[in-house]
Amino acid sequence: MRRILASFAADRRRLLLFLAFFSFAVNLRGPLIAISPVIDAVRADLGIDDATAGVLTTLPVLCFSFAAPLAAWLLARFGIETGVLLTLGGLALGSVVRALDGFGVALAGTALIGLAITVGNIVALMIIMRDYFERRRSMTAIDVFAMNLGGMACAAFTAPIAEVAGWRIAIAVWALPALLSAALWLALRRRPANPVDPVAESASPPSATPVWRRALPWLIGLAFGAHTAIFYGFAAWLPRYLGDAAAMSVTAAGYAASLFQILGLAGSFGVPILMTARGVSRFAPLLSVSLAWLVMPIGLLLAPQWWLLWLVFGGYASGGGFAVIFTLIMERAVGQDDNRRITAFVQGVGYLIAAVSPTVLGYALQTSGNWTAGFLFLATLAVINAGCGVAAIARK
């Protein structure tokens, strides 16, 4: 009986850990997406133009880049669980502050959200490396699935909430999922910790060469930067594009844009399956993502009436691209410390590239009055993603 009870207790803790991890990952994308469906209302209320509005989506991505070394240091100093709670607390507070009056306050709240997700992006892979190393591909898929789920919910429901309660309440309400996840993690901390996977916790990198002097992290960072630049460009401006090209209402465009997040769920699981399929080239998952990213902007330019088809390609690329990059990092890292360092470096390089995307699209739209230049920019990034990704996978 004692063994049965002990087994049940262990299973219950594993279930709680999984639920806590899933709820944590759900919060890592939604706060970024929430402002896009109501960007016109935000712009009008705060008295800002398109390019300035793009800063509200660019600033968190800049935080992902410039704050990555600080986030890596905090995690090395205080550990995974503290990093999780810092992430969730920052997301909850930032969501509320961003909804307060004034553009400066909105920027402050947005920066806080960006800093919180910077820590969260690194700590999520550290959790997988520590607790799910032998199932890292499937757990990476679940991680990306949860992020897409959170983004889908924010894209779908922010505009309807705004119609009832205003845009400020609509973006502040997303503090609640972060608080609920924090409660799960606090409950988990009261239970004895699972033993750390000895493979995941093995020491330092085999080389004393700093990460920034190694070619592989640079290649992964550039591939990741191209991928995230396309994703955040569409995440920021897709509702506006659908309103212009398909004459959709704000609410309808928000629902349609949520399909971009929903379809990412398929990519987050489809690509890992492709990665483990027999007889499939190791380059195929990455190249399928790059091709899908290339098709989406070109398709939207040439045949905007088929926007749903192009969103299928984009959704696949969105979920699949994150899965490819995150899995590649963990498979090339030697131990938790190397994982943390490479993840922070890749995030720093990648998100610095990605940060320009929403602003470039906003500026291109403002100066040209159409979407051609901005979408061709995204198509070029898809080619860069393919080249750097193939080089990273080929490198030993």
Break the chain into its structural domains and give their ranges: 14-394
CA distances (Å), origin 388, targets 148, 279, 329, 382: 24, 23, 14, 10
C-alpha 307/C-alpha 257 separation (Å) is 10
91 CB burial (10 A radius; 0-12, 13-18, 19+): buried
- Provide mean pLDDT across the span 143-149: 87
8 A C-beta contact, residue 332 and residue 342 = yes
DSSP state of 133: G
pLDDT tens-place string over residues 53-104: 778 877 888 888 888 889 989 998 888 999 999 999 999 999 999 988 888 8
8 A C-beta contact, residue 38 and residue 236 = no
pLDDT tens-place string over residues 351-382: 888 888 888 888 898 888 889 999 999 999 99
Triad 247, 248, 252: Cα angle to 5°? 175
User: Does residue 27 surpass a pLDDT of 80?
Assistant: yes
pTM: 0.79
- In CATH, which of 3.30.465.10, 2.120.10.30, 3.40.190.10, 1.20.1250.20 is domain 14-394? 1.20.1250.20
Structure-block tokens of residue 321: 């691209």
Closest CA to 327 of 349, 350, 343: 343
Number of residues written out for the chain = 396
Least-confidence region, from 93-102, 214-223, 332-341: 332-341
Percent residues over pLDDT 90 in the chain: 35
HSE-up (13 A, CA, CB side) for residue 317: 33
Q: What is the dihedral of CA 41, 46, 50, 55, to 10 degrees?
A: -110
Q: What is the dihedral of CA 318, 173, 60, 209, to 10 degrees?
A: -70
State the pLDDT at residue 86: 95
Show Cβ contacts of residue 262 under 8 Å, excluding neighbours closer than 6 positions: 148, 152, 315
8 A C-beta contact, residue 8 and residue 191 = no
User: Does residue 209 surpass a pLDDT of 90?
Assistant: no
255 three-state secondary structure: helix
User: Does residue 4 surpass a pLDDT of 60?
Assistant: no
DSSP state of 174: T
Residue found by looking up tokens 């398709």 in the block: 299
CA distances (Å), origin 72, targets 82, 89, 394: 12, 18, 27
8 A C-beta contact, residue 240 and residue 39 = yes
